[in-house]
Structures are given as C-alpha cells and as structure tokens.
Amino acid sequence: MTQFPTGTPSTTAQRWLHRIAIVLAVGTVLLIAKGGLVHSAGAGLSVPDWPTTYGENMFTFPVEKWTGGIVYEHGHRLLASGIGMLMIVVAVMVWMVDRRRWLRWLSIAALGAVIVQGVLGGITVLMQLPTAVSVSHAMLAQSFMIATMLIAAATARGWKQTKLPAPVSADRGLQKLLLATVVFTFVQILLGAITRHTYSGPAIIDFPLNNGKVIPDFVNFGVAIQFAHRVGAMILSVLIFVQGIRILRNRELAVLRTPALLAMIMVTVQFLLGATVIWTREAIVPNTLHVMGGAMTFAVVFLTYARSVHFYRFSASRESAEHIQFQGIKA
C-alpha cells in the first residue's frame, strides 16, 4: 500500500483552510470596526448610490475621488466585498476537505448571511439609514462574525483531534451560565446598536451618574435605551467575571482559561471605552473602538462556550461533580 508523506495535499489543504478561516474571522472583526467608523464619522450617506459608487463600478472607482466621507464608506464597501469573496473561498474549501456535515452547512449559512448582509448594507444607503435596517445590518454582522469564529476554531488541529468530550467535575450550571452570557452579550450589543442608530448618545451626558442622578428621569426613548445599555453593561460584567473566576479556579478546564481570561479583560476595556465615549461626547476614535470592543467581547465569550461544548462533558449535578472530583483525588 502506498504510504503518503506528512505533507499530503489533503493535509496541506486543511492547514490552509484553517489559516484562511482565521484571516476571515479577524477580517470580519475589522469590518465591523470599519462599519463603526463609518457611523462615528457620520459618513453613512457619503456614497448615495448602490451597488455603484457615484454611478461608477465600485471596484474601479478612481482613488483620486476618495475624498471626505467617501474614504470611510467606499473603503467599507471594498472591505466587505473582500470578506464576501474570502467567505466563498472558505465555503468551497470546507466542502472539499472537511467531511463534517454540520461544518459544511455552517459554511453555507455563513455565505448566505454575508450575501444578505451586503444587500442590507445597500438598502440602508438607498433608504437613507432607517433605524430598523441599520440595526439589522449591525446585528447580522455580529452573527456572521460568530459563524466565522466557529469555522476558524473547528478547523484547528486541536479541535479536530478531540473526538469525544472529556468528563469534568464542573456541573452543568457553569455551562448554562456560559450560554446565558453569550445570549446576554448579543442582547447588550443590540441595545448598543439601537442606542447608536437612534442617535441616543447625547440623551445622557454624564458618567457614572445619569444626567446627575443614579436613575435618570425617563423623559424620552433616548434616555431609556441608553440607561438600559448601561445597566446591561454592569450585568454582563458580573456574568463574565463570575464564569471567568469559576473557570480559572478549576484546573480541569484548561482549554477554557484563555478565552475566559480574555473575556474578563475585554469587558473591562469595553466598560472603560463606553465611559470614554460619554466623556468625549462621542469622539470618533473611542466610539469606533467601543464598537470593535463589543465584537471582540462577543467573540471570546462565544468561543468560551463553544469550547466547553466540544472539549468537556459537564456533570449533571453538583453531587455528581463532587463524586467525580472525589474519584479523581482517590485515584
């Protein structure tokens, strides 16, 4: 029988799939940041038509015409197109070199999402930034990012080599907490998107107080949505730190330690960025970094949960968890 060397085409293709998937995931985070920059700079309508750019082909639009807000909006479109093309490459490679059915269909779903995302972006411009469409555009971007993160994680060698999850002493309550944190992070980003796209930033002008009070007077929708976003930030911080501390204290959960620690760091940075946005009256740089920070926080929170599902089998109850831990000590 023919013995294939280590560097067989299939192995090489799998490695390249993982590398390209990482580029796709990182690029998606940068695309979200770029979208935040477009909004922060007030450049959302700098290019009033779509899919053309001032009546010209988007890909051949002369560089000398990239002036003012066009730099932001047109650059965002080009980066989005690049991400879409990269997603096509990843989807094709997944179907060619990976036999896992769920991953194949995830790649197709992600490809569909990025196509819809492009159309939503165009509709946003053509309809002159309606809130519902703009928020949908922002949240679909977050969902697409999570899909790319999972594809990148699942194509890693360590992930593929783990066939069955290992039993651990931690009870399922921790895993439920991880899932709840993922869901709440999505809700928190949604609140932030509504705040941004309804231009409710100036509704509360100070921090840590809320218009000089602990609980503001809810005189309009802007105050209500921004206060909800602030409360959500505190709740999310607690969730992330509680799960992080529990993970760091359990030596069995080594695979979860890095993303859990990163999540604690990111939510702290994100909290400070949110405060800076208020203190600087929504300056472009902190505002954009706040959007990017939200995406990065969502990514590491999701990867913590995804890894917990793939690598570990949590105990059904605290009693069984204590039994497993006792057996380990006894052994």
Domain holding 288: CATH number? 1.20.120
Backbone conformation region of residue 121, classed left if phi is above 0, alpha if psi is from -120 to 50, else beta: alpha
Are residue 288 and residue 205 in the same domain, yes or no?
A: yes
Q: How many CB atoms lie within 10 A of CB 45?
A: 13
The phi, psi pair for 292, rounded to 5°, reads -65, -40
Are residue 242 and residue 327 in the same domain, yes or no?
A: yes
Q: 293: burial class by Cβ within 10 Å (0-12, 13-18, 19+)? A: buried
Rounded Cα distance, 13 and 95, in Å: 12
Are residue 221 and residue 307 in the same domain, yes or no?
A: yes
DSSP category for residue 64: G
Q: Is the peptide bond before 216 cis (omega within 30 degrees of 0)?
A: no
The residue with tokens 């807000």 is 69
Are residue 30 and residue 105 in the same domain, yes or no?
A: yes
**pLDDT of amino acid 1:** 37
Rounded Cα distance, 276 and 285, in Å: 10
**pLDDT of amino acid 11:** 85
Rounded Cα distance, 34 and 76, in Å: 6
Q: Report the predicted TM-score, pTM, of the whole model to 2 decimal places.
A: 0.91
- Pull the structure tokens for residue 306: 């995804």
The phi, psi pair for 128, rounded to 5°, reads 60, 55
- For 76-93, give the DSSP string: HHHHHHHHHHHHHHHHHH
Backbone conformation region of residue 54, classed left if phi is above 0, alpha if psi is from -120 to 50, else beta: left
The residue with tokens 């959302």 is 44
Are residue 204 and residue 108 in the same domain, yes or no?
A: no
Are residue 148 and residue 245 in the same domain, yes or no?
A: no
What is the C-alpha radius of gyration for the chain, rounded to an integer number of angstroms?
A: 22
Are residue 190 and residue 319 in the same domain, yes or no?
A: yes
Q: Give the torsion sign (CA, 288, 291, 294, 295).
A: negative
Are residue 156 and residue 170 in the same domain, yes or no?
A: no
**pLDDT of amino acid 168:** 94
- Pull the structure tokens for residue 29: 């985070």
Rounded Cα distance, 264 and 109, in Å: 30
Give me the numbers of helices (H) and strands (E) for the chain, helices first please: 10, 2
The residue with tokens 């992070």 is 185
* Domain encompassing residue 257: 163-331
Are residue 156 and residue 169 in the same domain, yes or no?
A: no
- What is the tally of structural domains in the chain? 2
Rounded Cα distance, 117 and 1, in Å: 49
The residue with tokens 């997603």 is 87
Helix, strand, or coil (residue 112): helix
Are residue 155 and residue 219 in the same domain, yes or no?
A: no
- For 211-262, give the DSSP string: TTBSS----SHHHHHHHHHHHHHHHHHHHHHHHHHHHHT-GGGHHHHHHHHH
Are residue 134 and residue 271 in the same domain, yes or no?
A: no
pLDDT in tens, the chain (331 residues): 333 333 445 688 999 999 999 999 999 999 999 999 999 999 999 999 999 999 999 999 999 999 999 999 999 999 999 999 999 999 999 999 999 999 999 999 999 999 999 999 999 999 999 999 999 999 999 999 999 999 999 999 999 888 889 999 999 999 999 999 999 999 999 999 999 999 999 999 999 999 999 999 999 999 999 999 999 999 999 999 999 999 999 999 999 999 999 999 999 999 999 999 999 999 999 999 999 999 999 999 999 999 999 999 998 765 554 554 544 444 4
Of 161, 192, 208, the domain-final residue? 161
Of 101, 133, 161, the domain-final residue? 161
Are residue 14 and residue 145 in the same domain, yes or no?
A: yes
**pLDDT of amino acid 4:** 32
44 and 129 in contact (C-beta within 8 Å)? Answer: yes
Of 146, 161, 176, the domain-final residue? 161
